[in-house]
Amino acid sequence: MQHFISVIRYLTIAYLFFSILSCGRSSQKNQDHEVFRYNHFENVSSLDPAFARDVPNIWSTNQLFNGLVQLDDSLHIIPDIAKRWEISEDGLQYTFFLRNDVKFHKHSKFDTKDSTRLVVAQDFVYSFDRLVDPNVASPGNWVLKNVKGYKAIHDTIFKINLKKPFPAFLGLMSMRYCSVVPKEVVDFYGNQFRSNPVGTGPFKFKLWEENIKLVFRKNELYFEKDSKGNPLPYLEAVAVTFLPDKQSEFLQFAQGKLDLLNSLDASYKDELLTPTGKLRKKYQDKIHISKGPYLNSEYLGFYLDTEKDEIKSELLRKAINHGFDREKMITYLKNGIGTPAVHGFIPKGIPGFANIQGYEYSPEKARMYIKKYIKQTGNKNPTIRIATDSNYQSICEFIQRELEKVGLTIIVDVMPPSTIRKKKWSGELEAFRASWIADYPDAENFLSPYYSKNHTPNGPNYTHFKNETFDRLYEESFLITNAGTRERHYAKMDSIIMANAPIVPLYYDEVVRFTQKNVKGLTNNPQNFLILKRVWKEKTAK
């Protein structure tokens, strides 16, 4: 096995070397500080933004494409290709005024002398048409479900009309699904646009050997500049590898062959970090660690449309919420990474998080609820099965041990992630470990999984929670234009979820990134997107 890993490592380094040479550099002398290297242990499935559904695809397409708007590191919506916009008083019409200096990456299918052309409003009409085209079958078509229509008024004016007000709409437009793509290039490649992407982003496509290597080069036509007027990006290239083994990824990073380590796997977390989440002394001079809020709530969910008494019982669901120490769980199983979820489902880092009262650790209350359940039902051995994948097995087994102490039997079923996803949608799991990661920067995104009209398989309400007051507040929130008032509505809804306990919030996740000391300008953001256009690397002594 060790020999196999060594061979993989050797091939990866070889590919890295030859890929950089293939980028047309005549000398390797000063290349290291011009190339940013990272690894994805999951493979990229498409470089087409219409399929930017998961992290590897989103990270890659972030470098290649732009949309109407973008988010800064604090999740404020700022201009991108649209330099400004206007929203009608009724919240139904959005008018975007586009820049007139954004060019597509060069390609022979542009019938111009310099093999490129300017982006115009009609390109967004085409890109949105393609997003909702059933023949394309984009998983992002839901982004436009509330859109009544859109049109190009002028080369630099693009107008969108909504069916009903939706205050989070601008945030949706920042998603990579809504990137602009050129019709002539997409028509030429058809389905193979996935591996021949042409966009407007800070980097342009160079090479993709699937599951092995991905290389981007600097886009010399990129329109954005830094605060001093210097053109972006600073880097000459981005090189991505796809080592599937996290231990091998860590070894590559520890040897300085990767610039970024974006995961904290159980196989090496204790090697890197102390139990309190600090870098161990041996790495402090070599590695930089940065942390920040991540819009991800980790939780246990209960499928409420069940005949199983234990799941239908609010008493037992509350007992589980009170029955384990989240602080202890984070300290010993997560090396201090994450915030114990003792409030609601809405995580820290997003407007709408309101420090509402959740469930504190109280074995006494847990025992009381369990005894009350046994007295009411006569069931002296209540049992609940929780489905999880292997990455979260230790957390579920910790909860299992803690709840056994207060009289509740927990069975932990370990399954592949794909099996859990399928069974969640079909209602085949009585309880399950899950994550909810924000698609867009509005707390409404964390409340939609509890709206009754979103019951699976028609939406993301995996628990089949239903509450009339919650539904009324949720529908009212779309008509509220004042952000503060809307956030108070969100807090009320979050409190209703906690009071009824269809879930057990575990922790609010954190973005944790490890970089080499010479990496500069890489910032965290609560959606854990990789933004490389302002990153540079200091030269290091050889």
| Cβ atoms of 424 and 513 closer than 8 Å | no
Closest to 164 measured CA to CA, from 95, 92, 113, 104:
92
Instruction: Say yes or no to pLDDT of 46 above 60.
Output: yes
pLDDT, residue 353, reads: 87
Residue 435's DSSP bridge partners are: 298
Instruction: Say yes or no to pLDDT of 27 above 70.
Output: no
Contacts of 467 (CB under 8 A, 6+ apart): 450, 452, 496, 500
Contacts of 304 (CB under 8 A, 6+ apart): 311, 312, 463, 464, 465, 466, 502
Contacts of 150 (CB under 8 A, 6+ apart): 124, 125, 128, 158, 159, 160, 161
Q: How confident is the model at residue 263 (pLDDT cuts 50, 70, 90)?
A: confident
Which tens digit of pLDDT belongs to each residue from 178-211? 999 999 999 999 999 999 999 999 999 999 999 9
Instruction: Say yes or no to pLDDT of 371 above 50.
Output: yes
Prior bond of 134 cis (ω within 30°)? no
What is the DSSP pairing of strand 383-388 with strand 409-414?
parallel
* Cα–Cα distance for residue pair 503/320, rounded to 1 Å: 10
Instruction: Say yes or no to pLDDT of 373 above 60.
Output: yes
Which tens digit of pLDDT belongs to each residue from 77-125? 999 999 999 999 999 999 999 999 999 999 999 999 999 999 999 999 9
Q: How confident is the model at residue 539 (pLDDT cuts 50, 70, 90)?
A: confident
The predicted model gives 287-299 an average pLDDT of 93
Instruction: Say yes or no to pLDDT of 513 above 70.
Output: yes
Which tens digit of pLDDT belongs to each residue from 376-424? 999 999 999 999 999 899 999 999 999 999 999 999 999 998 899 999 9
pLDDT, residue 541, reads: 63
Determine phi and psi for 449, rounding to 5 degrees: -70, 0
Instruction: Say yes or no to pLDDT of 4 above 50.
Output: no
Radius of gyration of the chain (CA): 25
SS3 per-residue string spanning 437-471? ECCCCCCHHHHHHHCHHHECCCCCECCCCCCHHHH
Q: How confident is the model at residue 234 (pLDDT cuts 50, 70, 90)?
A: very high
pLDDT, residue 542, reads: 55
pLDDT, residue 28, reads: 45
Closest to 449 measured CA to CA, from 429, 430, 425, 431:
425
* Cα–Cα distance for residue pair 528/211, rounded to 1 Å: 22
Residue 101: Cβ-neighbour burial (10 angstroms; 0-12, 13-18, 19+)? exposed
pLDDT, residue 326, reads: 98
* Cα–Cα distance for residue pair 144/522, rounded to 1 Å: 31
